Structure 1
Amino acid sequence: MGVPTFFRWICVRYPKVIRDTIEREPVEMDGRMVPVDLDEDAPNGDFDTLYLDMNGIIHPCCHPEDGPAPVDEEHMYENIFLYLDRLIRIVRPKRLVYMAIDGVAPRAKMNQQRARRFRAAQEREEMEREQEKLRQDWEAEGRTLPNRTSGKVFDSNVITPGTNFLHKMSEAIRYYIHDRTTNDPLWQKLKFRVILSDANVPSEGEHKIMQFIRLQRSQPDYDPNTRHCLYGADADLIMLGLATHEAHFSILREVIIPKSEKKCTLCGGTGHVASECNGEGDDADDLVIQKPFQIVSLPVLRQYLLLQFGELEERMPPTLPYNFERCVDDFVFMCFFVGNDFLPHLPSLSIRDGSIDQMMSLYVEILPSLEDYLTDCGRTNLVQVEQFLEYLGGIEDQVFKHRLERESKMRAEKEAERAKAAAEEANFAPSGAEQMGGSLASFGGQNETSFTAPKEEASDTSAWHAQLLAQSFSMDFENLDSQEPPAKRVKQESTLDPPKPKETKAKSGKVVDREFHLALRERLNNRQDLGEAMADTVRLGEGPHWKQRYYFEKFKVKQDDLVDFLQRIRKAYVEGLCWVLVYYYQGCPSWTWFYPYHYAPFASDLIGCGNLKCGEINYFQPGQPFQPFQQLMSVLPPVSAEEAGIPAAMRELMKQSFSPLIDFYPVDFGLDLNGKRYTWQAVVLLPFIDEPRLLRILAPLLARLKLHEKMRNRHGEMLVFGHKQDKALFHAVQLAQAAYEAGHAGLKQTVRDSHLFGFLEGWQGGGANREVASPIEGLPDVEESHCISAQYTDPELLPHTSELLPGISEQPVVVNAADMDDGSRFKGFGGDAARKLIMQALGKDGRRKRYSYQETLEGQ
């Protein structure tokens, strides 16, 4: 889910769900890093399965934000191998590791992918222009210029199904599995199986994982006490994990480290990251800083929710018995309203404004009167959803007015801070003081928070440090509620050290390169912050016609067409809510459906959705997933086409002015800040792909692909790997491979045990005793692998049920009423004000609650 604030909200509201991992320092054994004691108990608890959302590993290992970029693809592979080693040391799964790389996505997701990739290409071009301009500025000032970087900058857009890059990545990961199974002591001890679902297997990585879990738990021999651990950073993993209704499910993720605690991967210093390094720390170019990990316990989150929904047990009518599992599903559904990867969020709802707290309070109040729950294991009960939305829509006007008041207050406070800082600057800066040299000189007053420095080193530096302290508070970009861009702003050299005398010796090339990089990052981040340059002209909640202004400006609707348009967008958005719910609970309901607008309607304009039919699970037509090259042509900008390996004839369709597809690839496109401040928050206004036209034009070109291109453009199968001492798997693999080599393609063997259920088929690299070539120069080939492998197919699709399976062992209770009473849980995110607003709309004072924390809130 594209809402990073959701995880922070979870941490504040339910603090016991998070625990730090224990990570023992490994030792080197035969050139490998392995645990000190292979026989010790798993330091972070026992886990049976480890699921890896591989794109969350590939991206940071190939283009890290906080460290130097890998020099080539081999270096990227090595980064990924080491990262995987570390995850397996932490979790130590006993049965299975499932590695899932994003495959072709449903159309509903492609629109977001398309916007991200076009914007990424645009940002690279902006960076190159700004870099050249900065070089010219430095040259005009007589400064030493850095060396021009050799080689091409890595294009992260190649991390898309169908590219040469991901094809080779899959081969590298297969080598990794063979090598570790054969040579790694920890792998040899655990002997878990591995399933690899690479980019040729359709669907997003996390949804392939969830489909696997749902299908395994539907089998009669499934162990209901299977202990799952899923690695990934996306907030939607929490929702997906809850939707499995598994009793033991945890999520492993990197800790978000405040800047003050970070170490620079270039110099080894603290308080800044590599993009901010000025080269004055220790020389440690090869230093690799590892972020610690945390485990999110979904059983503990369920305990919080059980108490939060607990009063419903006494209030539900006999015709609608209380069912906690269905309340969990409704909680997942409510979270869709504040953000997901497939729909824009409703304008009046925001996590920062307390909307989740508001919806949960509303839900507890009105559920007993609704006659049914909002959802039913993927089915959307639209009559009840409409009643729920009536209350949210009824307070939209107040929500927007409160937001305007808050923004006005924040602007006034910032103006006061700027005035105070200007006064302090005037008082502290000696007459005739000159600005700091280095990177600061190149900005020429662009940054309004810059300060002047004392001229002489002998000057009293206490005032200087006071200025720096004030500046550090005014640039507190790590605040949890901040809306700063992911690429944090760079502080100038003046914020790092007191003034120094003018340098008398030439700086090293390394220091010059770092200073140049620092100055470039500052310029690029300044470009992201548009401030009031693109003021919000809609001003939701201001005046009597803010709704009309929104639809007229955002959707270009005429007054005469407004009524018909509202009916169309209501249907499209409610279809989207229903589509997402089925996707979360039963798998992809339609590969071709997508939401055809850049913006959402208002909650009040969804009233009437109870008459729609799209709540049924079988409402959507399944369709077929795109082929990888069709997706590449849908989501990539032309500048990434050649690097991605799109065939030349197709690349021409992206560039020729007379191409029948040229309107899909605009050179310029709009960015709408939509009331926000930073360009990374903007709505990317790209035209939507016309699927029938795209497929029709590409069809003859796809028929003429070369063999190696056909390999990249196919829909592939998952692979299962295991140790040759795994007797149950070994027997089935050998039979499947023998049938394949005898020419009986398609003949499958069944594997069924407590660890895995599915079907196996031989393949060209399958069987046992394989020799596997290394993809990295310097790493040895695996001459006789101990790993066995076969193609793997999931068992028959069965409906997923929203219930805990019989025979589970509940985890110990760690959350109690006292935890619910803890007032610190309700600080921030506007939860108190939002809850009061909905309670007033219900005509209640909010005091009829089981737990006293509600009264505590009333008194705050």
Structure 2
Amino acid sequence: MGIPCFYSYIVKNHGSIIKTLKNVPCDNLYIDGNSIIYDSYNDLEPSENFEDELIQQIIMRLNALINKVHPRSRCYIAFDGVAPLAKMKQQRVRRFKSEYERDIRSGLGLSNPTKWNTNAITPGTLFMKKLSDNLKDYYIESSHIVVSSSEQPGEGEHKIFALVRNNIDYHLKTITCIYGLDADLIMLSLNHSQNCDHIVLYRETPQFIKQIDSSLDPAKDYVLDIKHLGKAIGDDFGDVDRISDYVFMCFILGNDFIPHTPSINIRTNGINVLMAVYNDIIVRQKRYLIRDGTIHWGNFKLFIEGLKQDELSRIKEEYSKRRNYKLNKTSLDDKVLFLPLLDKREEQMINPYESFWQDRYYNHLNDIDRNNDNVLKTLCINYLEGLEWTMCYYTHGCNNWYWKYNYLYAPLLSDLYRFIPSFNITLVSNNIKLPVSPYTQLAYVLPRSSHHLIPEKIRTYLDTNYRHYYDSGVIKWAFFKYFWESVVQFDQLNIEQFNIEINNKII
């Protein structure tokens, strides 16, 4: 889910939740450390000692942030450690696309400055080890500042909310400021509002703020007040207990783990579509999608039944807009950015105005036969698993480090509806296995051009045994607007066996 679109929607519909930082006293400051790394990277110019300068800039930014927010009690800085497989899949796609885009830009003769390989910002690299050691040494005598480095597994933002869940009584009595601003963080904060009385999100984004709301002063620091956002959403539904439903149904708009359904896009009024159907069916009948932490699949089936009614008309409308879309005075940079609008051959072959377009949708985009009911069921159940897995991840933490969505595009709602259970059932079983090693994550997510960041023994093994895996990426962008939204199909890989093989090379 794109944060500019989501944030814009929130500000437009709930403007009162934006407050100035100086007017919000703070007990706890929790920092998504990786956002600090990238901010610091953007601060610097190329140099011979770039990594050392970057580490010093990170420490300087952390200190400046702590001094500005001035938490009265404690500060927790969480960096991304090894991630669940569902997130690793997204990381691999993102890194592959970055390399693909660099190649395109180079072919077009566009400047492509590279001052440092940002793929080094991955758990297991020498840089992340060096950063971890420096931060430990620097903050060793600060009793109120705790650092969770990349050596501890888990995404930074999820480490933060694990801390909240493990100290509920404390957080119900204090005000917590979380540094970071993306759609996932907003959803996580909303989903933990019952565990933390008052959460605000903060990020220095002057240009972004100005683009979203011209009435705001970009020179000031703003926070997003989650408590007031939750109340505003509750007012929309007439019931504050529906926050979990709101978070859950927004997964249909897509996130890091599952794609959005093709007929509902946050950029084209997607949230309003969800809200209208939800109010008309679920609220009117006094039902809930989530109750006491349990997904009520029968109620969700009713919800999807309502959403699927206008699925074809919404897809046709979007297809027509894209077919007639013209880019004026297209620069070379825009040609890269808007590749999906310039090359629409695949979606033109699918063409929802012609018969059997659903068959072509699955065949072209997910490489499956829609008329094979078992195959279609497997895809739809995998998507439902994704909804359940994500809700569990957002509520309790990761219950299965090895689950992932195995396809590129979401199922059509008309097909998904057929396979939603009418009774409560758990689709993703808890898996007590530990996450993969940092070296396995490196080997899984890094493109071949960044394999110098991997230990030599592993690098040699990968080059001998897995060359095909790194050459297998195929990009698809049908029904997307921007290149960065595109998806990538890779050869399948057994992650558990891969983890064993990689770890054996380290011993």
Pair in the same fold by TM > 0.5: yes
What residue number does 1:230 align with?
178
Local SS of the residue matching 1:329: helix
The alignment of Structure 1 onto Structure 2 pairs a total of residues equal to 496
Local SS of the residue matching 2:26: coil
Q: In the TM superposition, what are the counterparts of 1:461-472 in structure 2 within 5 Å? A: none
Relative distance call for 1:386 and 1:291 in structure 2 (3 A) is same
Q: Distance in 1 between matches of 2:458 and 2:248?
A: 40
Aligned letter for 1:630?
T
Per-residue deviation, 1:292: 5.3
Per-residue deviation, 1:405: 4.0
Local SS of the residue matching 1:619: coil
Q: Distance in 1 between matches of 2:348 and 2:432?
A: 40
Instruction: Tell whether the 8 Å contact from 2:262 to 2:479 is kept in structure 1 after alignment.
Output: no
What residue number does 1:638 align with?
448
What residue number does 2:36 align with?
57
What residue number does 1:557 align with?
368
Deviations 1:398-433 (A, max 9, x none): 21122234445654xx6xxx6xxxxxxxxxxxxxxx
Q: Distance in 2 between matches of 1:675 and 1:292?
A: 38
Relative distance call for 1:696 and 1:627 in structure 2 (3 A) is closer
Query: Can you give the 5+ residue segments of structure 2 that lack an aligned partner in the other structure?
Result: 212-217
Match for 1:177 among 122, 126, 139?
A: 139
Instruction: Tell whether the 8 Å contact from 2:45 to 2:115 is kept in structure 1 after alignment.
Output: no
Match for 1:665 among 470, 476, 486?
A: 470
Aligned letter for 2:149?
D
Confirm whether residue 200 of structure 1 aligns to residue 157 of structure 2.
no
Per-residue deviation, 1:3: 4.6
What residue number does 2:315 align with?
400
Q: Distance in 2 between matches of 1:359 and 1:75?
A: 47
Q: Distance in 2 between matches of 1:393 and 1:78?
A: 53
Instruction: Tell whether the 8 Å contact from 1:251 to 1:296 is kept in structure 2 after alignment.
Output: yes
What residue number does 1:48 align with?
27
What residue number does 1:345 align with?
260
Instruction: Tell whether the 8 Å contact from 2:237 to 2:283 is kept in structure 1 after alignment.
Output: no
Relative distance call for 1:618 and 1:698 in structure 2 (3 A) is closer
Local SS of the residue matching 1:611: coil
Deviations 1:815-860 (A, max 9, x none): xxxxxxxxxxxxxxxxxxxxxxxxxxxxxxxxxxxxxxxxxxxxxx
Per-residue deviation, 1:114: 0.7
Q: In the TM superposition, what are the counterparts of 1:589-668 in structure 2 within 5 Å? A: 589-611=399-421, 615-616=425-426, 619-642=429-452, 644=453, 646-656=454-464, 659=465, 661-666=466-471
Q: Distance in 2 between matches of 1:663 and 1:408?
A: 36
Relative distance call for 1:392 and 1:618 in structure 2 (3 A) is closer
Match for 1:382 among 271, 278, 297?
A: 297
Q: In the TM superposition, what are the counterparts of 1:275-290 in structure 2 within 5 Å? A: none
Q: Distance in 2 between matches of 1:13 and 1:70?
A: 45
Local SS of the residue matching 2:434: coil
Instruction: Tell whether the 8 Å contact from 1:104 to 1:631 is kept in structure 2 after alignment.
Output: yes
Instruction: Tell whether the 8 Å contact from 1:613 to 1:619 is kept in structure 2 after alignment.
Output: no
Per-residue deviation, 1:5: 1.5
What residue number does 1:153 align with?
115
What residue number does 1:573 align with?
383
Relative distance call for 1:649 and 1:241 in structure 2 (3 A) is same
Instruction: Tell whether the 8 Å contact from 1:100 to 1:205 is kept in structure 2 after alignment.
Output: yes
Aligned letter for 1:629?
Y
Match for 1:112 among 90, 99, 104?
A: 90
Aligned letter for 1:670?
V
Aligned letter for 1:547?
Q
Per-residue deviation, 1:255: 2.4
Q: Distance in 2 between matches of 1:653 and 1:119?
A: 24
Per-residue deviation, 1:629: 0.6
Q: Distance in 2 between matches of 1:336 and 1:670?
A: 25
What residue number does 2:129 align with?
167
Q: Distance in 2 between matches of 1:538 and 1:254?
A: 44
Instruction: Tell whether the 8 Å contact from 2:312 to 2:352 is kept in structure 1 after alignment.
Output: yes
Q: Distance in 1 between matches of 2:284 and 2:220?
A: 46
Deviations 1:465-523 (A, max 9, x none): xxxxxxxxxxxxxxxxxxxxxxxxxxxxxxxxxxxxxxxxxxxxxxxxxxxxxxxxx75
What residue number does 2:484 align with?
680
What residue number does 2:203 align with?
253
What residue number does 1:768 align with?
none
Per-residue deviation, 1:687: 2.5
Deviations 1:127-149 (A, max 9, x none): 55666x989xxxxxxxxxxxxx9
Q: In the TM superposition, what are the counterparts of 1:426-441 in structure 2 within 5 Å? A: none
Local SS of the residue matching 1:195: strand
Instruction: Tell whether the 8 Å contact from 1:540 to 1:547 is kept in structure 2 after alignment.
Output: no
What residue number does 1:542 align with?
353
Relative distance call for 1:379 and 1:70 in structure 2 (3 A) is farther
Local SS of the residue matching 1:695: helix
Q: Distance in 1 between matches of 2:376 and 2:428?
A: 25
Per-residue deviation, 1:590: 0.3
Relative distance call for 1:615 and 1:57 in structure 2 (3 A) is farther
Deviations 1:70-121 (A, max 9, x none): 6611221222122212222221101110100000000111110111122223
Instruction: Tell whether the 8 Å contact from 1:62 to 1:70 is kept in structure 2 after alignment.
Output: no
What residue number does 1:307 align with?
235
Deviations 1:128-175 (A, max 9, x none): 5666x989xxxxxxxxxxxxx9xx731111100011010011122223
Local SS of the residue matching 1:675: coil
Aligned letter for 2:82?
V
Identical aligned residues as a percent: 30
Q: In the TM superposition, what are the counterparts of 1:467-482 in structure 2 within 5 Å? A: none
Aligned letter for 1:355?
G
Aligned letter for 2:470?
Y
Instruction: Tell whether the 8 Å contact from 1:653 to 1:662 is kept in structure 2 after alignment.
Output: no
Relative distance call for 1:547 and 1:330 in structure 2 (3 A) is same
Q: Distance in 1 between matches of 2:361 and 2:70?
A: 52
Per-residue deviation, 1:673: 1.6
Per-residue deviation, 1:2: 5.0
What residue number does 1:328 align with?
243
Match for 2:62 among 81, 84, 88?
A: 84
Instruction: Tell whether the 8 Å contact from 1:578 to 1:615 is kept in structure 2 after alignment.
Output: no
Q: Distance in 2 between matches of 1:410 and 1:586?
A: 43
Local SS of the residue matching 2:23: coil
Deviations 1:655-676 (A, max 9, x none): 23xx2x222211x632212133
Q: Distance in 1 between matches of 2:335 and 2:316?
A: 30
Q: Distance in 1 between matches of 2:502 and 2:363?
A: 36
Relative distance call for 1:111 and 1:303 in structure 2 (3 A) is same
Local SS of the residue matching 1:102: coil
Deviations 1:267-291 (A, max 9, x none): xxxxxxxxxxxxxxxxxxxxxxx97
Relative distance call for 1:680 and 1:197 in structure 2 (3 A) is same
Aligned letter for 2:473?
F
Per-residue deviation, 1:228: 0.6
Q: Distance in 2 between matches of 1:205 and 1:680?
A: 23
Q: Distance in 2 between matches of 1:59 and 1:649?
A: 29
Aligned letter for 1:61?
S
What residue number does 1:741 align with?
none
Query: Can you give the 5+ residue segments of structure 1 that lack an aligned partner in the other structure?
Result: 22-42, 136-148, 182-191, 262-289, 311-322, 419-447, 450-521, 704-860
Local SS of the residue matching 1:395: helix
Aligned letter for 1:207?
H
Aligned letter for 2:489?
L
Q: In the TM superposition, what are the counterparts of 1:286-297 in structure 2 within 5 Å? A: 293-297=221-225
Q: In the TM superposition, what are the counterparts of 1:768-783 in structure 2 within 5 Å? A: none
Confirm whether residue 216 of structure 1 aligns to residue 167 of structure 2.
yes
Q: Distance in 2 between matches of 1:601 and 1:291?
A: 44
Instruction: Tell whether the 8 Å contact from 1:248 to 1:298 is kept in structure 2 after alignment.
Output: yes
Q: Which has the higher helix share?
A: 2
Local SS of the residue matching 2:431: coil
Q: Distance in 2 between matches of 1:526 and 1:410?
A: 14
Of structures 1 and 2, the larger Rg is shown by 1
Instruction: Tell whether the 8 Å contact from 1:2 to 1:341 is kept in structure 2 after alignment.
Output: no
Per-residue deviation, 1:559: 6.0
Q: Distance in 1 between matches of 2:359 and 2:120?
A: 41
Q: Distance in 1 between matches of 2:231 and 2:286?
A: 25
Q: Distance in 2 between matches of 1:341 and 1:256?
A: 25
Instruction: Tell whether the 8 Å contact from 2:436 to 2:499 is kept in structure 1 after alignment.
Output: no
TM-score by length of 1: 0.54
